[in-house]
Amino acid sequence: AQTVTQSQPEMSVQEAETVTLSCTYDTSESDYYLFWYKQPPSRQMILVIRQEAYKQQNATENRFSVNFQKAAKSFSLKISDSQLGDAAMYFCAYRRAHSEGAQKLVFGQGTRLTINP
Amino acid sequence: GAVVSQHPSRVICKSGTSVKIECRSLDFQATTMFWYRQFPKQSLMLMATSNEGSKATYEQGVEKDKFLINHASLTLSTLTVTSAHPEDSSFYICSARVPGYNEKLFFGSGTQLSVL
C-alpha cells in the first residue's frame, strides 16, 4: 500500500520569507500523481500544485514550486514570499495513475504552517 | 471552476439518531465521488468511493452498515451515519472527480458532525 509521510507537524516562517515543507512517499508504482493541498481554517481543501511522476520538470504555480525527486521518493513544497494568507494546514497527497482505485488520494499527516508578521 | 456543494456544514444530533450528509456537483456530472473523514488535527482518511448507479466501495475497517452511501444520480451522493454515537463525531468531506480533468479532484466544504 502506498504511504505518504510528512515529518514536520508544524512550521513557521516570517512574512515575505521562503519556507519548504517536506514530504516523502512510498510506492512500487512508476506512474502516479503527487499533490499539495492547503486547508485553511475554513477547512475547505484547496489544490495548491500537482506533479505528474513521468515529468522530470518540477511543477510551479506562481509563488509555489516543488522539488520532485523520484528516485528518492521525495516531494517538497517551496513557498516563496510567504503571505499571511498562506497560513494553513498543508497536506501532501499521492494518487495512482492507473488501475482500479486510481482516483483515490492518500494523504500525509499534514504540516501546520504559521506566518509571522 | 468545478463546484462541489456539501450540506449541512454543521450538524449536532443525539446519540442513536441518523444523519444524512449531501454532496452535490453543481456544474458537472460526477460518476465518482469520495467520502473522507478527518479527526481533529489529523489527516483525511478515505472512507468509501461512491459510484453512480452501483454499490459504494468501502475502505478496510469502515462499517458499510454504519455509513450508508447512495449515489443515485450523476450530481448527488449522500452519506448517512446511522445510529450515530459520540465516537462518530468528526469532520466529513466529500470530493468529486471532474470529467476531463483526470488528475483533479474538487472538494466540498465539509460537514462537522457532533453527536451528543
For residue B2, pLDDT beyond 80: no
Residues 6+ away with beta carbon under 8 Å from A5 = A23, A24, A25, A26, A108, A109
Confidence of residue B16 (pLDDT cuts 50, 70, 90): very high
Range in A42-51, B49-58, B85-94 with the lowest mean pLDDT: B49-58
Q: Which three cell numbers stand for residue A35?
A: 499533490
Q: Which three cell numbers stand for residue B5?
A: 456543494
Mean pLDDT of A53-65: 95
Asked if A50 and B104 come within 8 Å (Cβ–Cβ), the reply is: yes
Computed over every residue of chain A, the mean pLDDT equals 93
Q: What is the pLDDT of residue B68?
A: 96
Omega prior to A40 cis, within 30 of 0: no
- How many angstroms separate the CA atoms of B93 and A89, rounded? 15
Q: What is the pLDDT of residue A99?
A: 62
Mean pLDDT of A75-92: 97
Q: Which of B95, B105, B110 sits opposite A43 (nearest CB)?
A: B110
By the CB < 8 Å criterion, does A108 face chain B? yes
Residue B40: phi and psi, rounded to 5, are -50, 130
For residue B42, pLDDT beyond 90: no
Residues 6+ away with beta carbon under 8 Å from B18 = B80, B81, B82, B83, B84
- How many angstroms separate the CA atoms of A2 and B105, rounded? 19
Residue A110: phi and psi, rounded to 5, are 100, 150
